Amino acid sequence: MSRDFFWLTEAQFDRIRPHLPTDTRGKARVDDRRVISGIVHVLKSGGRWVDAPAVYGPRKTLYNRFVRWAEKGVWEKLFRSLASAGGPPEQVLIDSSAIKAHRSAAGGKGGRRPRRSAVRAAAARPRSTH
């Protein structure tokens, strides 16, 4: 495999295997190790699901598995159990990234001119005549 791809080792996957859901119905599931490696790759790279390398399997499977397991609480249980297992701090750390956003990303009006609050504007005398 290329160094650009993230792959769980057998030892890593053996540690998380007991925490994965086994109550599946219908078609056989795509390999969990491959899908989880793809999910981690997408989350680490910050890319879009559709841009995930094909080596991880169907991109829709990556997204669907991530979302379904998030709704079921699988990720949270997995992180809690791995964090409580102890070990060196660099292996227990769960990422807490900070991302800078443009000032308009919060939905503010922007511009340099100060704006009156809605309460003062409502109480003020009308500016135009009827």
Condensed to tens digits (0 to 9), the pLDDT of residues 51-63 reads 999 999 999 999 9
Query: How many C-beta atoms lie closer than 10 Å to residue 16's C-beta?
Result: 17
Cα(87)–Cα(125) distance, rounded to whole angstroms? 68
Domain ranges of the chain: 10-92
- Please give the mean pLDDT across all residues of the chain: 79
Most confidently modeled of 92-96, 104-108, 126-130?
126-130
SS3 93: coil
Give 11 or 110, the one with higher predicted confidence.
11
Q: Report which DSSP code applies to 120.
A: H
Measured torsion, CA atoms of residues 4, 7, 12, 16, in degrees rounded to the nearest 10: 120
Tens digit of each residue's pLDDT (9 = 90 or more) over 10-60: 888 888 898 888 887 777 788 899 999 999 999 988 889 999 999 999 999
Residue 1: what pLDDT?
47
| pLDDT at residue 110 greater than cutoff 80 | no
Cα(6)–Cα(38) distance, rounded to whole angstroms? 7
Cα(7)–Cα(38) distance, rounded to whole angstroms? 8
Residue 107: what pLDDT?
60
Give residues with Cβ within 8 angstroms of 24, minimum separation 6: none
